[in-house]
Amino acid sequence: MRKRIGFLSFGHWQRAEWSQTRTAQDALAQTVELAVAAEELGVDGAFVRVHHFARQLSAPFPLLAAIGVRTSRIEIGTGVIDLRYENPLYMAEDAAVADLLGGGRLQLGVSRGSPEPAYRGFDAFGYAAPDGLDDAGFARAKLEIFMAAISGAGVVHADVGGLPGAAMLPVQPQSPGLAERIWWGSGSRDTAKWVGEIGLNMMSSTLLLEDTRFRSTSCRPSRSGSSATRGATPGTNASRGSR
């Protein structure tokens, strides 16, 4: 398999004298320009981090769409979207729109989030976990809804004279193949194992939420935290779907 490299921008901005990104507009516009430059250099992807309540890139889809219309070849992705902050159906629409505008080049990293400046910021967004689910469990439940929605599953009953009909409606638009290009960002060995079990791609970062050194083993799904492996299909080395 061909090795790929991409850049990952956090998109910081601050009014420091040395900073070339004094404003949010600087950070956003320069992220698009760097993606264009990266494509010209032969780099394979432009990825953005997503953090909320900080002077860094947040809502990813307008930015991904802008990169998509200014480039033609590179992968465009996130590392990672915090699902605690997302409405999975609205996100399914957003993702499909950005993917279609970019010609099917999204590679979306999603996760249950990382430590952040806001205290339970996702509650303020209106997404407190229902009783009986912890935040991680809620994020995983949203992942299932998101995956179903981008896979074309019906997610709501049709309205038949003010009553729910038998027909189920999928969200629109649908972008073919998007579901094969979703990655779960894992910061722990246990999650990495789960990612392998459900057959998602795995994205690991420089951050591991345990002080354990990376270890290489031959068992694929349990190579927890040590690799970002496209196609972490349990028990195989095969690439999954996307290409």
Partner 1 sequence: MSRSVIPITTDLDRQLFGRDANEDQVGWLDGAISRFGRTYSGEPDRIAAELAQDAAVAAADTLLLTVPNQLGVDYNARLLGTIVAHVAPAIGWSPTPPVPAGA
Q: Is 8 an interacting residue with respect to partner 1 (CB under 8 A)?
A: yes
Q: What are phi and psi of 34, to 5 degrees?
A: -65, -35
- Least distance in Å: CB of 218 to partner 1? 10
Cα-based angle 174, 66, 113 (whole degrees, multiple of 5): 70
Q: Looking at 41, 131, 163, 235, which residue binds partner 1 (CB under 8 A)? A: 41
Q: Is 226 an interacting residue with respect to partner 1 (CB under 8 A)?
A: yes
Footprint of partner 1 on 186-225 (CB under 8 A): 203-214, 216, 223
Burial class (CB in 10 A: 0-12, 13-18, 19+), 134: exposed
**Residue number with CB closer to partner 1 (57 or 89):** 57
Q: Please state whether beta strands 163-169 and 156-160 pair in parallel, antiparallel, or not at all (unpaired).
A: antiparallel
- Least distance in Å: CB of 66 to partner 1? 15
* Dihedral of the alpha carbons of 197, 201, 202, 203, in degrees to the nearest 10: -160
Give me Rg for the CA atoms of the chain.
19
Q: What residues line the site for partner 1 (CB under 8 A)?
A: 1-14, 16, 18-21, 27, 30-31, 33-34, 37-38, 41-45, 47, 73, 79, 114-115, 203-214, 216, 223, 226-230, 239
